[in-house]
Chain A
Amino acid sequence: MHEKRAFNALRIIGLIFFTLITLFPLYTIVTSSIKPLADVRSTFRWTPSRITLAPYTDIWSTIPLARYFLNSLIISLGATVISVFIAILAAYAISRYRFFGRGAFSLTVLSTQMFPGILFLLPLFVIYVNLERVVGIQLYGSYAGLIITYLTFALPFSIWMLVGYFNSIPKEMEEAAMVDGTTALGALFRVLVPVSMPGIVAVGIFAFMTAWGEVLFASVLTDDATRTLAVGLRNYATQSNVYWNQLMAAAIVVSIPVVAGFLALQRYLVQGIAAGGVKG
């Protein structure tokens, strides 16, 4: 009893602490986005001197936010869908089959997590440019280039998580289906995938977030027309004459889809990681 009360008190203090440190910056972003420009140019105020929604409308003309948004959306969705698909295939193979090179493949894929981006940034750029000449697909300054790049970035973690997830699902389920005449791939998509939805959703979320927030490669591989939100906003924030209230408004606009999606699906995320990441 004694201990329970002490723990409860501790819990309340702990929760308050975490809530405060989480909320403080969020509060700053939200209130700054509804302040007039003079407020964000002088000493910080906890409340706006007057509430204005102008930043939310102005930001669309200050920077081409709509274009950046569309670009990021197309690129992130493209990378996510393809990456998840490829990861499912690869994870299925690793989880369900023993084949020569399996260990090497997994190790290679996992080790790419360590590669510093700068090491292969410029070579990648040069390769894309040359591929464009040889094969004719535009990779620099196009959606394709970044989609290919981002889907690859998400692959290692996705494959690793899905392997863990698939491993925790007994093979008997697919084998039963295959005895009935389904192909291996059919079993994969009709039996394993539906059961693995939490893991797949988790992997999809992760892939999307990786693509949505990446700055380094986007800064080199995009041009004016394909610029993503990450680069666009980052450039604006370091330009002269930043309208911070508008920038904060943009930050909110940009974050809402990702945060909303993330939070709506967090249940799957926790489940997915629990089964896949933890046991893997």
Chain B
Amino acid sequence: MYNRGASAGRSLSRRDFLRLGGIGIAGVTLFGGVACGGRSQEGGNTVTYWASNQGATIDQDKQVLGKAVEEFKKQSGISVNFKVIPWSDLYNNILTATTSGEGPDVLNIGNTWSASLQATGAFLPFDGDKLGMIGGQEKFVGTSFAASGAPGKTPTSVPLYGLSYGLFYNKKMLQDAGISGPPETWDDFVTAAKELTSPPNRWGMALEGASITENSHWAFFLGKQHGGSLFAEGGKPTFDSPEMVSAVTQYVNFLGLDKIASPACAEYSDGVSGPTDFANGKAAMIVYQNNAERVLKTSGMSEDEYGVAKVPLVNPLPPGGEPIMSHVAGINISIFNNAANQDGALEFVKFLTSGGQQIKLNESFGSLPVTKEARETPQFSGGKLAVFNEILANNAEPMPLIVKEAQMETLIGDAVKQLFAKAATGGSVSESEVKAQLSEANQKMASGG
């Protein structure tokens, strides 16, 4: 008898469980994957913010942003709860937030993601009204603003921090080799680099051949110089056009044929190894984004040991070639469509893109301001930063603003990475090998679901 009793007790709780489970499963089927109508995150006047890692360490970001947030609270009475998310996580976090409908109010994004994130429809479009609320489109540097979304569509992000490539060179090493100044054309660059190369410990340049992002950026701006582009007018990918092939061949052959970069560079991918080689005197020059200065500083290189110049150009520029030295690099800021505190979020975006904050934040992070006002201040219009600013404003173009930007970067970056691997192990790569690799990537791009 107790048998039944014991089981009855248990089975009652199991029946409950079954019921609960049944409701749950039914509920899930009903709601399907519909993720709209996210729960409101915070009550009252607070804004949640996901910041990206711009400083040398996450702690530095926390300190810098902490001050900014305090000032914002004084000004507006709104508190900001922020988290600093490492780059390795940010994209995934955005993906899960978009899928589930639960995320912060405001967040940083890499500006090359702007078009693909725009396509999800999860972010607040900055139409005329909203732009007005944050200070107007006019206040932004033209090129930076152009990289905020697909052309012709209302952008769903606005620029926050700017970056651009530049040529870093070791003053003493160039002087010792009798080179009068930083090279301005690629031919001069290779000649100078050859002078500066004496393997195994000294090389003319450093690069990061296993970095997908580096490779895709180089393919982009060097391709522009050669008169090619990653995509043709109608949106068809043209990775393997003759111009793109010659651009990528030139880049890979710095290591393979000219041998002005150490073969070890083919394995570098972390954003630190290349600049560190430059800081240690292993490489005399490097073409890198201005945030490399952080790494140089931590590696112990002082500011007067190196100079910054414009990125060399193909000379003469072939027909269709453009003097592009960098893509429009930078970080943008977006607001989620179902942000609990949209007004507060807009206030915060206005604050971060205001003159004063632009100066403070970009100074702390070593990036470039994205507002015209801040650009013209003495901190950013002299010295090394002036070079970067100029490149960003006058010699930069946005990476293709397409929905499948991530896939494009991966395909092209990976193709170049494979070519570097070949060059490092086997010597120079021929144009036909380059074409074959790029055609493969091109096909994948064209057919990608």
Contact = CB atoms under 8 A, between A and B. Distances in A.
Q: Do chains A and B touch in the complex (CB under 8 A)?
A: yes
Interface of A: 122, 125-127, 129-131, 133-135, 140, 183-185, 219-220, 223-224, 235, 238-242
Contacts of B425: none
B270 A239 contact: yes
Nearest to A181: B2
B191 interface: no
Contact of A134 (B7, B28, B85): B28
B35 A183 contact: no
B96 A238 contact: no
4 nearest A-B pairs in the assembled complex, by CB-CB distance: A134-B27, A129-B100, A240-B271, A240-B270
Contacts of B101: 129
Nearest to A231: B89
B214 interface: no
Given A130-B27, A134-B28, A140-B100, 18 more contacts: A122-B99, A125-B99, A126-B35, A129-B101, A130-B31, A131-B24, A133-B39, A135-B24, A135-B27, A183-B6, A223-B93, A224-B83, A224-B85, A239-B86, A240-B271, A240-B272, A241-B272, A242-B270
A95 B158 CA distance: 63
B88 interface: yes
A26 B83 CA distance: 36
Contact of B24 (A125, A134, A140, A240): A134
A235 B91 CA distance: 13
Interface in B15-48: 20, 23-24, 27-28, 31, 33, 35, 39
Contacts of B99: 122, 125-126, 129
B6 A185 contact: yes
A183 B8 CA distance: 13
B75 interface: no
B175 interface: no
Contacts of B20: 135
Interface of B: 2-3, 6-7, 10, 20, 23-24, 27-28, 31, 33, 35, 39, 83, 85-89, 92-93, 96, 99-102, 270-272, 295
Contacts of B295: 241
A235 B88 CA distance: 6
12 contacts: A125-B96, A126-B33, A126-B35, A127-B28, A129-B99, A129-B100, A134-B23, A183-B3, A183-B7, A185-B6, A241-B272, A242-B270
Contacts of A135: 20, 23-24, 27
Contacts of B24: 131, 134-135
Most B C-beta atoms less than 10 A away, residue of A125, A126, A220: A126
Contacts of B35: 126, 129
A259 B83 CA distance: 34
Contacts of B83: 224
- B interface, by DSSP: helix, strand, loop or mixed? helix
Contacts of B85: 224
B27 A125 contact: no
B315 to A, nearest CB: 34
Contacts of A185: 6, 10
Contacts of A131: 24, 27-28
B340 to A, nearest CB: 16
Contacts of A122: 99
Contacts of A140: 96, 100, 102
Nearest to B32: A130
Contacts of B93: 223
A238 B270 CA distance: 8
Given A134-B28, A240-B270, A126 B23 contact: no
B96 A239 contact: no
Nearest to A220: B96
A183 B2 contact: yes
A188 to B, nearest CB: 12
A90 to B, nearest CB: 13
A129 B39 CA distance: 11
Contacts of A224: 83, 85
B92 A219 contact: yes
A235 B86 contact: yes
Nearest to B39: A133
Contacts of A219: 92
Nearest to A185: B6
Contacts of A220: 92, 96
B300 to A, nearest CB: 12
Contacts of B271: 240
Contacts of A133: 27, 31, 39
B264 to A, nearest CB: 11
A102 to B, nearest CB: 18
A238 B88 contact: yes
A185 B9 CA distance: 13
Given A183-B2, A185-B6, A224-B85, A130 B270 contact: no
Contacts of B92: 219-220
B240 to A, nearest CB: 30
A241 B272 CA distance: 6
B181 to A, nearest CB: 31
Interface centre among B100, B101, B272 (most CB of A within 10 A): B100
Which of A133, A140, A242 has the most chain B CB atoms inside 10 A of its CB?
A133
Contacts of B33: 126, 130
A219 to B, nearest CB: 7
A218 to B, nearest CB: 12
**Considering residues B23, B88, B102, B295, which has the most beta carbons from chain A within 10 angstroms of its beta carbon?**
B88
A117 to B, nearest CB: 15
Contacts of A134: 23-24, 27-28, 31
A235 B89 contact: yes
Nearest to B271: A240
Nearest to B93: A223
Contacts of A183: 2-3, 6-7
B24, B28, B92: most-surrounded residue (chain A CB, <10 A)? B28
A134 B25 CA distance: 10
B278 to A, nearest CB: 15
Contacts of A126: 33, 35, 99-100
Contacts of B39: 133
A129 B271 CA distance: 35
A134 B92 CA distance: 25
A74 to B, nearest CB: 21
A59 B28 CA distance: 42
Nearest to A225: B83
Contacts of A125: 96, 99-100
Nearest to A184: B3
